[in-house]
Amino acid sequence: MIRKLDDLFVLNTDATTYAFRVTNGGHLKHLYYGKRITFDNGDVSFLEEGRELPPGNTSYYSDAHRHISLEYLCTEMSSRGKGDLGETFIDVTFPDGTGTTDFLYEGYELGTGSPNLDGLPSSHDGGAKVENLTVTLKDSHTGLTLELSYFVYADCDVITRSSRVVNSLSESVVLNRLMSSQLDFADGDFTLHTFTGGWVNEMHRNDIPVTSGKYINSSITGTSSNRANPFVMLSKGIADEEHGDVYGLNLVYSGNHFECAEKTIHGKTRILNGINPEGFSFVLEPGDSFIAPESVMTFSPIGYGGMSRNMHRFVGHHILRGQWEERPRPVLLNSWEACYFDLSEEKILGLAQQAASLGAELFVLDDGWFGQRTEDTRSLGDWHPNPDIFPEGLASCVNKIRDMGIDFGIWVEPEMVNVDSDLYRAHPDWVIDIPGREHSEGRNQRLLDLTRTDVQDYIIEAMSGVFSSADISYIKWDMNRVFSDVHSRALPPERQGEVYHRYALGLYRVMDALTKKFPHILFEGCASGGGRTDLGMLCYFPQIWGSDNTDAICRADIQEGYSYGYPLSVISAHVSTVPNHQTGRITPMETRYAVASFGLLGYELDPGKLSEEELTQIKEQIATYKEWRDVYFHGEFYRAGSSAGLANAEPTTWTVVSPDKSRAIGMNLQGLGKPYSHFEFYKAAGLKPGSLYEISTSPSFDEGSEKYIVRGDALMNAGIRTRTFLHGTHINDEIRHYPDFAATLFYIRER
């Protein structure tokens, strides 16, 4: 998979090729990344420029190489100075105040195995052979060392990268930036696709033509953030779900990140990703090193869908790990929208009993169970059960719930503290704030300073006490504010630029310790919903609460946004009550279930306030989901249409297909209702063209249901008219009315 031919390095996956070479001057010249090609020898003249670049008003590299301009050359990394005016890969300040570097090829090493990044999460081999390459560069003037590492996951058509700088000088240097990956393209009509939003409004796709200048997607919230997810796409020319060249990039990191696409005056396009250089600096003493997070790259010549499925396979096989890596997740009922802070043991037991009677497998007690947590201004950090809620203790209540035949989970927010708490009163120096200045609060709480080992140890000890205090099967780990007024009392002034990254390292140490100590617990990550949906978190927590927004129509857009870079089998989705608590919208129960079933199904409502008809619907939904859960969880996901069109009555179509293509589930979700609509279709995807399939709206394919028997190619290319299946209301003999936001699920099985 990795070959060295003379000065040429070739990295092959099953379907892609990545190639670069060492120039006569010692630079790493990027040549190609795309559909797999063959190099019979080291001759790459067919990929070289046809002429030397006249200097014009550009700076040439050196007297010995007057024809070389680093502003024009496509490279594997870039730095400040020597004529490169583009966005830089690495930026260092030396003791004399200068920052020019000139990293030239020193050597290489081939090996096998996935990354080991010393405190940072990373991908794992998943039982497959992973070949790796490390290329060593040295600054021609100072001897500062830079290592570029590449890891090839052939089965997923993914290549990951990381970088490491080593201070081989006798004095300290300041690292101002170190990116994880850089892609330079000599040409290209590219579009950058980012996924942005905010609280209850995550993952909206933006399409930005990269015509000239720089386009930046980044977070400075201290987290990967709901403002701008670290996953981005780059498409070339015309691309859609099934056609066109599409690149996907992501970062295995949960802190401030940075993605930049830049097109230069020479037509070169550069894209970088890594830790956000804003607010970042790191002092490297002699002998110290710094490792950048792992960057994930994939390419597909068959559009966004092909790229997404590459990413989905990579996350499933090489990011998730532990006992829950491949285990389907339990159907749950969460207490939050049913109770908020109004809790009592009687109410908790009642909800759990109702959840069990509906067929749910897990009851989750959300915020409000500890200390004097009757509102969000108090008691964060005081992790002991409220005796007014649990007169006989938490364990006694949990045992009663377990006796109902249902598992128990609980909510925590370990990284936070309220000023009105016993913890803050005992340790006011444990928070991130600026001494002597008024602090900018977020949700009435402050961040514990996870750059400190003593704070990390406290969280590990406190959470271990909670997790072992009762028979707990699930933890919802929340984080409900952004970083502001960032300062650590544990670091000197010259190292305050290290706070963001050291916090992430501290968090990873905490999560690593707790997930190893409690391997049986299913952990779900949450940060005001989707504020920390990233590959770093998924290395520890195998699922994410993608948004605090439970409205089905909003969720369709949010979940589709996630699906470009993340499998929906890691995104929790709940059926909630109507009118919805975030939007006030009323949607059919069928629609709420249809959208939620394409994630990890849960319910967030009070069953005691539902009608018998609604309770029966939920029982049937849960039973159906369990029957088809393996298809949802292990299947390949296909998009068609767009959730962005819902407001204009355009349908959204999703399909998930089992690995052996014998079973599938499809969904058509319409927008605003249209009268007398006879012309919409459901088209499946991912089936065997020559196989015969049965399709029905009944998961049991019972005799009374409407169904067709269709060849796979017909079902995928022609589709079926959905008017036969949509559940509408006859107004008279000629006009049929379909309610706003109606959804239909189609169950498909090979005959």
How does the average pLDDT of the chain come out, rounded? 93
The model carries a pTM of 0.96
Checking if the pLDDT of 727 tops 60, the result is no
Encoded amino acid at 118, one letter: D
Encoded amino acid at 1, one letter: M
Pick the CATH number of 639-750 from 2.60.40.1180, 3.40.50.720, 3.30.470.10, 2.40.50.140: 2.60.40.1180
- 544-582 pLDDT, tens digit each: 999 999 999 999 999 999 999 999 999 999 999 999 999
Checking if the pLDDT of 50 tops 70, the result is no
Q: Is 420 a catalytic residue?
A: no
- 647-694 pLDDT, tens digit each: 555 679 999 999 999 999 999 998 887 665 555 689 999 999 999 999
- 371-388 pLDDT, tens digit each: 999 999 999 999 999 999
Checking if the pLDDT of 52 tops 80, the result is no
Checking if the pLDDT of 484 tops 70, the result is yes
Percentage of the chain exceeding pLDDT 70: 95
Least confident of 106-110, 454-458, 646-650: 646-650
Of 449, 548, 551, 557, the catalytic one is 548
Q: How far apart are CA 73 and CA 49, in angstroms?
A: 10
- Check the CA dihedral 528-531-533-538 and report its sign: negative
What are the C-alpha distances in Å from 173 to residues 89, 117, 287, 382?
Answer: 17, 21, 11, 41
More confident residue, 629 or 187: 629
Checking if the pLDDT of 731 tops 80, the result is no
- 300-359 pLDDT, tens digit each: 999 999 999 999 999 999 999 999 999 999 999 999 999 999 999 999 999 999 999 999
Q: What is the mean pLDDT of residues 579-591?
A: 95
Domain map (residue ranges) of the chain: 69-318, 332-634, 639-750
- Residue 188: predicted pLDDT: 79
Encoded amino acid at 179, one letter: M
- Residue 390, both tokens: 């649990």
Tell which residue, 296, 234, 374, has the closest CA to residue 566: 296
Least confident of 415-419, 577-581, 664-668, 717-721: 717-721
- 593-630 pLDDT, tens digit each: 999 999 999 999 999 999 999 999 999 999 999 999 99
- Residue 644: predicted pLDDT: 52
More confident residue, 187 or 665: 665
- 686-711 pLDDT, tens digit each: 999 999 999 999 999 987 677 889 99
Q: Is 534 a catalytic residue?
A: no
Of 478, 534, 551, 557, the catalytic one is 478
pLDDT range class, residue 729, cuts 50, 70, 90? very low
pLDDT range class, residue 278, cuts 50, 70, 90? very high
Longest dimension (CA), the chain: 89
Residue 150 in contact with residue 180, Cβ under 8 Å? no
Q: How far apart are CA 674 and CA 677, in angstroms?
A: 6
Residue 304 in contact with residue 311, Cβ under 8 Å? no
Checking if the pLDDT of 186 tops 80, the result is yes
- Residue 733: predicted pLDDT: 46
- The DSSP annotation for 4-18 comes to EETTEEEEE-SSEEE
Question: Which is it for strands 571-576 and 543-545: parallel, antiparallel or unpaired?
Answer: parallel
- Residue 704: predicted pLDDT: 67
- Residue 730: predicted pLDDT: 42
Q: What CATH number labels 332-634?
A: 3.20.20.70
pLDDT range class, residue 736, cuts 50, 70, 90? very low
CATH T-level topology, domain 69-318? Beta-galactosidase; Chain A, domain 5 (2.70.98)
Q: How far apart are CA 100 and CA 484, in angstroms?
A: 32
